Structure 1
């Protein structure tokens, strides 16, 4: 009888430096845990195993290690209710903004902000606290109270941070989106919340152009009848437009009267912000996260895993559309200086983010896998040409990072720069797997599950597997899991989204492999969510535009991750009789998508097909078509009896871009 052999792991591309590990916050936390529990954990794997076995002990240790300030009495860390009904620290009261604005160095820099033109501002902790105090007082004078919704149609600028923190200090609920969304796309999200205040910038910069968004703001305000007052934020320095209306005030007017910060302590599970799903199957779902859960999780992720604290500078390229914006703002929680950049990461040259990291002495830089690949293709050598001596961690998220990018970072950025590839999501506004100062890095792999995350790969029978591709699941609760979906009073949609396949177990929708040496490999999305440049997009947003165009009968958009690290997003269209897909129609489609959805929704290519396949109930077969594009055989993606027109599905086999990845449908 042959004994199964454990696969030999690849050689790590990076190993921890023990002297650096000794001075890290995770080492300090490990010693703190030993004093609390009497148990010593010799390595990361041991600490992780304890963190998921003893959730109350672990999260109590996180709270005490980071000195989370609470009021009110709580009797237990979490109750015994199964997910998604678990409740944390019942009875505790706190406020996210209070923790974001506490510092021992009021004259130090809290925010460095750079726009695409190169204009740079530095905001001290004292200045930030003063602006938040003034704006919070102004919001209170407008009648804003705990539970009211405040929204931002804003770029990645300090104004957005101030508006969010001022809202959070009151207990109001925040939500934001970038101005690359048209008014229709923004209204689809914000109208669900019935906000009372709208913050909107006069415009934004992208690829060397200034985009005036005052008209879009006017249209958005009309679509939000609940808004009582609109604040125009001076991003481009434009005056109020004639159609601004009497309910519009200037940003500087809201800060005119100084006031001390007042932080209303709210229950642990009070909503902090609403992030939105991609809208793949319809209207984007509002995902609600709470003050307490975010505070705990982001202290853990940023403080322990990225080792961020006072003296560090945290630059992660993002927009306000993406949950990474929320995580960057949380850099303030651990006392780090956050570096905001608003603009194209490749303007005026492909190395813009590297130059920013060098200029502002970033200790942690976050980019997308695509940015690393484009840097390599452009022949950049940032470690040679720039002073990146402050950089110790290079984060990557949004898509799987191919193995060659790990080697490129080692050879062209620096051998002591740790690649921290991370997997997480808007759903939990955090991570499932990533790195820590004391974890090795293997090429093409994520170092380990994060502390407190009971991560497994499940096969089709719901059994955990190692060295096999399975569904990413989390078997024990996390404090940053959503409180609920907006407008989902009975929790049905929330349950269907994550808990319908494995009762009491979170199913995320990614294919993963748990390796024998403890790492995690992400194979891509197991559902149909588009994931363009690290930002999830909704196919429904595209269909709402394209399927209404003259000459187009129906469309199908697919986002396919390919084994070489590429991402292909084709749009297939079925035309009405008498129409042809010429360049004029292609331009019409692209322009309509760019205008009514966003530039990120514009596909890589537009292809005419005779028909779109559906289920028997009329749902477009996005996932089976995606699998075909990735190289799977047609018999592996859908049964003939499940398709309304099997020949329509067969037609897509000709568009295969690469050999098939490993996973099959359960």
Structure 2
């Protein structure tokens, strides 16, 4: 997930209310650390500096503060092996699901599951624990044991949460895929894991209608010969298609059983998340029970200040790492709100309405949703009851400065915008906010606690105030324990440690500002390098996507075989608008004035749609490779793209020449 900026002011747009901050969990944690160490930290920057200088002390404090319960014997928090071989709490044993299901209020609400047509289910902690216990016992009866794989072809409903927690409770390894993937795309991921059990829903709802996925589920089952039994999940209530090795969801949960949590090693695999698959077959990224427990307690409990009594809604699908983070809201005792459906159906205010209806305290959306809300003229703070909302999270794509001002003026000035940058790779964040960090428009407030975040120049030297590679110089517990089917770690090492030995290079451009905030300005492999001057694509989008008539844009800097450099800008227009010379001039002037005079596009081209990953990221690198002459099958798998026809459209373009049409390209 990547968040970016175009900063417009040196002054914060939001500052902490000290009377509120004093009651936050991070304030209590800071006091707890002072009692443990004898050193008081007067502000966030001081606490962060200590957290990365004394990793054992910090992560031991997180473990104790959040009562992370371990058995076994360990004599240190982490060993001395350099990344990526570092081991955490060697000898310790625990279980993620045990922590997710503990509560002091069994009658309180653990999950609120809402589908697109408004059907809502409230599940108490006692009910959730009962369902997980019954399903875990059923899995054991199927012969599933620790280390076996269980996969879900499921929408974002309670079924996915129950199936994941049941799997985790017995030490099985979970992986999920949304049903917007076809059987082939899901099999490309799941077949690598050779799963023992498949959970498959009958379908999902999107944009006002149900999508029957029973045939796709059957095709997926046929593509996974290792599957011994399939659990048929009645999400739409369609008739079950009989199969000799299938059972219904109700039958799998029919026999009550108490939860029994397998104590697994700290670094035992918890789940496998897959990369987008836009640069080859999706990579299986494996995270461990203990690392996720520690990091998610820190991120959710300290940075988002979530705990019992809070309600947590972040719009996501089961494909995206944010689903895993949302489920972890249970770790800190928050009520998790699940929504399965379009964020814009039946209207653009749908997520705001959900936040109001369920009194959400932390709401997470995409930058695109904020921009579409602004363009739709919404005023959620006036029209809806959002008094419970205190944090608005944003991740997954660039968040321009204008969106910070829109939130202040149209949602509420007391609401903190928590812009975050992280990734599937660590199933967490590198930079974000906390209750005691200011917010600057277009900037991420600070590096997260325990994250030794820096920007490196090409020589591996730290830089401040200028763009460099985003790196992490010390271990994080949520870094992958390995890639799936990468026995000697070669692919893992090449992915992150090939540029700077012993240092994690994430592949983003980052700037550390003098006041301590972070600016992430796009992927370093899709940088706009014009006349030796580098610019992140996010800086272009922050300007262009705000212009009237522009729905969204995509800019590419392509080095061509003859040594020249072509930088086209592709735009999708709002209905009723035309890309005439007046609009082209408006775009050029805006880029020249507000982004960079050296990065005015060579040509501006209207396209019907832009291709994205399934999680909404623009496919800059695949489009760049197409423009450089690669075949479409070489740049992205069909199932990695939200709209393959949009990518196919770009495959028809070639470099402009003297006889190009007025559009500036030659199909």
Bin of the TM-score, shorter chain as denominator length: 0.7 to 0.9
Counterpart CA distance in 1 for 2:538 and 2:508 is: 14
> Is residue 100–residue 332 contact of structure 1 (8 Å, CA) maintained in 2?
yes
Aligned to 2:70: 70
Aligned to 1:613: 629
1:580-619 correspondence runs (5 A): 612-613=628-629
Answer yes or no: is 1:564 the counterpart of 2:549: no
Counterpart CA distance in 2 for 1:451 and 1:346 is: 34
Aligned to 1:268: 266
Aligned pair in 2 of structure 1 residues 488, 388: CA closer, same or farther (>3 Å)? same
1:529-540 correspondence runs (5 A): none
Counterpart CA distance in 2 for 1:41 and 1:348 is: 48
Aligned to 1:373: 371
1:97-496 correspondence runs (5 A): 97-241=97-241, 244-496=242-494
Shift of 1:27: 0.2
Shift of 1:564: 2.3
Aligned to 2:516: 518
Counterpart CA distance in 1 for 2:614 and 2:12 is: 40
Aligned pair in 2 of structure 1 residues 565, 393: CA closer, same or farther (>3 Å)? farther
TM (norm. structure 2) is 0.82
Match of 1:497 among 474, 481, 495: 495
Counterpart CA distance in 2 for 1:95 and 1:301 is: 19
Query: Secondary structure, in 3 states, of the residue corresponding to 2:272?
Result: strand
User: Larger relative CO (CA 8 A, sep 6+): 1 or 2?
Assistant: 2
Counterpart CA distance in 2 for 1:599 and 1:445 is: 22
> Is residue 625–residue 635 contact of structure 2 (8 Å, CA) maintained in 1?
no
Aligned to 2:17: 17
Unaligned runs of 5+ in 2: 1-6, 528-536, 546-551, 558-606, 637-652
* Superposed CA offset, 1:355-406 (max 9, x none): 0000000000000000000000000000000010000000000012100100
Query: Secondary structure, in 3 states, of the residue corresponding to 1:321?
Result: coil
Aligned pair in 2 of structure 1 residues 16, 611: CA closer, same or farther (>3 Å)? closer
Counterpart CA distance in 1 for 2:618 and 2:198 is: 27
Greater Cα offset, 517-526 or 441-450? 517-526
Aligned pair in 2 of structure 1 residues 391, 559: CA closer, same or farther (>3 Å)? closer
Query: Secondary structure, in 3 states, of the residue corresponding to 1:61?
Result: helix
Aligned pair in 2 of structure 1 residues 282, 213: CA closer, same or farther (>3 Å)? same
Query: Secondary structure, in 3 states, of the residue corresponding to 1:365?
Result: strand
Query: Secondary structure, in 3 states, of the residue corresponding to 1:564?
Result: helix
Counterpart CA distance in 2 for 1:273 and 1:354 is: 31
> Is residue 97–residue 169 contact of structure 1 (8 Å, CA) maintained in 2?
yes
Shift of 1:281: 2.1
Aligned to 2:34: 34
Counterpart CA distance in 1 for 2:133 and 2:198 is: 18
Aligned pair in 2 of structure 1 residues 93, 409: CA closer, same or farther (>3 Å)? same
Counterpart CA distance in 2 for 1:257 and 1:571 is: 57
Shift of 1:53: 0.2
Query: Secondary structure, in 3 states, of the residue corresponding to 1:34?
Result: helix
Shift of 1:31: 0.2
Aligned to 1:635: none
Counterpart CA distance in 2 for 1:521 and 1:107 is: 43
Unaligned runs of 5+ in 1: 1-6, 530-557, 573-588, 622-646, 658-666
Shift of 1:620: 6.7
Counterpart CA distance in 1 for 2:626 and 2:398 is: 33
> Is residue 280–residue 528 contact of structure 1 (8 Å, CA) maintained in 2?
no
Aligned pair in 2 of structure 1 residues 602, 41: CA closer, same or farther (>3 Å)? closer
Counterpart CA distance in 2 for 1:176 and 1:238 is: 21
> Is residue 560–residue 568 contact of structure 1 (8 Å, CA) maintained in 2?
no
Counterpart CA distance in 2 for 1:559 and 1:517 is: 21
> Is residue 52–residue 474 contact of structure 2 (8 Å, CA) maintained in 1?
yes
> Is residue 396–residue 615 contact of structure 2 (8 Å, CA) maintained in 1?
no
Aligned pair in 2 of structure 1 residues 390, 610: CA closer, same or farther (>3 Å)? closer
* Superposed CA offset, 1:81-114 (max 9, x none): 1100111000000000000000000000000011
Aligned pair in 2 of structure 1 residues 601, 35: CA closer, same or farther (>3 Å)? closer
Query: Secondary structure, in 3 states, of the residue corresponding to 1:133?
Result: helix
Aligned pair in 2 of structure 1 residues 391, 598: CA closer, same or farther (>3 Å)? closer
Aligned pair in 2 of structure 1 residues 211, 421: CA closer, same or farther (>3 Å)? same
CA-based RMSD: 3.1
Aligned residues: 573
Counterpart CA distance in 2 for 1:298 and 1:609 is: 36
Counterpart CA distance in 2 for 1:124 and 1:599 is: 30
Query: Secondary structure, in 3 states, of the residue corresponding to 1:464?
Result: coil
Counterpart CA distance in 1 for 2:556 and 2:11 is: 40
> Is residue 174–residue 270 contact of structure 2 (8 Å, CA) maintained in 1?
yes
Aligned to 1:631: none
Counterpart CA distance in 1 for 2:411 and 2:362 is: 13
Aligned pair in 2 of structure 1 residues 302, 74: CA closer, same or farther (>3 Å)? same
Shift of 1:611: 6.7
Query: Secondary structure, in 3 states, of the residue corresponding to 2:508?
Result: strand
Query: Secondary structure, in 3 states, of the residue corresponding to 1:151?
Result: strand
Counterpart CA distance in 2 for 1:11 and 1:611 is: 41
Aligned pair in 2 of structure 1 residues 177, 505: CA closer, same or farther (>3 Å)? same
> Is residue 313–residue 339 contact of structure 1 (8 Å, CA) maintained in 2?
yes
Counterpart CA distance in 2 for 1:199 and 1:24 is: 39
Counterpart CA distance in 1 for 2:539 and 2:182 is: 25
TM (norm. structure 1) is 0.82
Aligned pair in 2 of structure 1 residues 88, 603: CA closer, same or farther (>3 Å)? closer
